[in-house]
Chains A and B, each alone.
Chain A
Amino acid sequence: MNRGPDEPMKARIELTVNGERREALVPVHKTLLEVLREDLDLTGTKHGCELGECGTCTVLVDGEPVLSCLALPAELEGREILTVEGLAQGGRLHPLQRAFAELGAAQCGYCTPGILLVARALLEATPVPTREQVRVALAGNICRCTGYTKILDAVELAALRMAGRTPVATAAAGSAR
């Protein structure tokens, strides 16, 4: 930690983001959202309300969804942070990302990174959730475009595929329960 007379206190922080160790020298009052976007060039995490009221800035910390707009990096050293950039593996989209694209579960797409991460945490804990469980899990993510139905459909489709119960045709998948 070092600090000049009128400079904000800075700290060298070491974060594990998407499996990589990243270092940055940042003012301690910068939120994780700001550091991800402005210092680590990870702009997949979106900023909406910046006050905890929308969920678009959600990232996973040790697998659990938290709001990056209200998290301080200084408190997250040693924890595993996953952002939307870390979902695809080796150039292959995550099944959730594929299902969202196929079903048109994103319109403007602004809410999508946060929703994908919450859905991924849900499927980790509950591989084939009921629609109600998906709804409850996504109660902290606001979407202004879609009306949510396709989002719920896409999470269910991805869950079925990941569980090896693959509905064949995408067209039919929208109503697969």
Chain B
Amino acid sequence: MMRLPPFLYVSPRTVAEAAKAVAEAGPGGMLVAGGTDLYPNMKRRQFEPTTLVGLAAVRELRGVRGSAREGVTLGATTILSAVATHPDLLRHYPALATAAGLVSSPQLRNMGTLGGNVCVDTRCNYYNQPYPWRKAVGFCMKKDGDICLVAPGSRRCWAVSSSDTAPVLWSLGARVRLVSASGERTIPIDALFRDDGIEYLAKRPDEILTEIVLPPAEGWASTYLKLRRRGSFDFPELGVAVALRLEDATVAQARIVLGAVASQPRPATKAARALVGQRLTPDVIAHVADLAAGPARPLDNTDFTHPYRKKMTRVFVARALGRLAGLERAGRDEEELA
């Protein structure tokens, strides 16, 4: 058996109690929601917290409220299967429901939460390995070591942001509410991430992500495409999130955000800007897809070769735009099996 290391477990009932518990736990404390990311990592000794503050019993953190008209607020511990099947989300924020429904496997979506998915650890072939493997190869700076095994001269870690929902939430213009014992703040989700494989979140460890707030959806269309080897279980090797507001078939606003190409979701700003004022013709789509591949700089630390992942960025952006233009059929090929 691959067992969890021992820890103290605290199970608060309210956000206020949870905030107090993490503050009291100090540097050895960690939050856990569904545990589907943290527990495998703890079994591999990538994290060894002394105290876990479980959010499962905090009822106020669960559920979806609001409407497409006013905007929707999602509690951080809403499970992914609830996000994937929620009728209003399917209808008005389809990219989010799609992304949640493409995470890992059905069982994991019954346990894993949206907040946990936003905060999911970055990944790397040299890091997501059991302790004896990492020890034999030589530890890297993300845990227990001081060099990077992917880019040996590098001073930073290049582990890959591998959340399916984070690029979508960014493209939708979501905001996140962070609560701690010393106060609370609400920030745009793009300000939650940092381009660093180790310190990939710009929040303090004692800050609890309580809510994800989506702006009104009226007039917006959105879609998400995911590249992975198998149709289940696998993390994204590339995610493409596109959100557009169309006025009379002309793009009035656009956001394209790429997942799994850097240590944080990466906006394709130039490409999105080139869409504004345009109709989604095949020529425009091809041009924008070329521009969008620019910011994708995958490294050789996940599945598939990195040149292939870069090339597929162009293909997937074109496909996503084609879908929103009604030029491509939507269907089960949401995920592309290579």
Contact = CB atoms under 8 A, between A and B. Distances in A.
Given A65-B110, A139-B231, A140-B233, A70 B57 contact: no
Interface in B215-234: 231-233
Interface stretch (A52-60, A101-109, A156-164): A52-60
Shortest beta-carbon contacts, A-B, top 10: A140-B105, A8-B6, A139-B232, A28-B9, A51-B40, A50-B2, A29-B4, A140-B107, A140-B106, A75-B56
A54 B214 CA distance: 34
A143 interface: no
A67 B9 CA distance: 20
B107 A58 contact: yes
B111 A66 contact: yes
Interface of A: 3, 8-9, 11, 27-31, 34, 47, 50-53, 55, 58, 64-67, 70-72, 74-75, 118, 136-137, 139-140, 142
B2 A51 contact: yes
A130 to B, nearest CB: 13
Interface in B36-87: 36, 39-40, 43-44, 54, 56-57
A72 B107 contact: no
Given A3-B8, A51-B43, A74-B54, 4 more contacts: A51-B2, A74-B9, A118-B107, A137-B106
Given A9-B8, A50-B1, A75 B54 contact: yes
A132 to B, nearest CB: 9
B104 interface: yes
B54 A72 contact: yes
B3 interface: yes
B301 interface: no
Contact of B106 (A9, A53, A74, A139): A139
Contacts of A66: 107, 110-111
B112 to A, nearest CB: 9
Interface string B89-114: 00000000000000011111011000
Nearest to A114: B107
Most A-side CB within 10 Å, residue of B7, B107, B231: B107
Contacts of A58: 107
A52 B104 contact: yes
Interface residues of B, number: 30
Contacts, number: 89
A1 B192 CA distance: 36
Contacts of B54: 72, 74-75
A28 B10 CA distance: 10
A87 B108 CA distance: 22
Nearest to A38: B1
A137 B56 CA distance: 25
Interface of B: 1-9, 11, 34-36, 39-40, 43-44, 54, 56-57, 104-108, 110-111, 231-233
Contacts of B11: 74-75
A142 B83 CA distance: 25
A72 B6 contact: no
B9 A139 contact: no
Nearest to A61: B110
A74 B35 CA distance: 13
Contacts of B7: 9, 28-29
Contacts of B56: 75
Contacts of A34: 1, 3
B180 to A, nearest CB: 23
A52 B36 CA distance: 7
B6 A27 contact: yes
Contact of B108 (A67, A72, A136, A142): A67
Contacts of A136: 106
B77 to A, nearest CB: 11
Contact of A65 (B6, B34, B57, B106): B106
Nearest to B41: A51
B331 to A, nearest CB: 12
A52 B120 CA distance: 15
Contacts of B40: 51-52, 70
Contacts of B3: 29-31, 34
Given A53-B233, A140-B233, A9 B104 contact: no
A118 B106 contact: yes
Given A64-B110, A72-B35, A139-B231, A50 B43 contact: yes
Given A75-B54, A139-B232, A67 B107 contact: yes
A70 B6 contact: no
A31 B110 CA distance: 17
B337 to A, nearest CB: 13
A74 B39 CA distance: 14
Given A70-B35, A72-B35, A140 B5 contact: no
Contacts of A137: 106
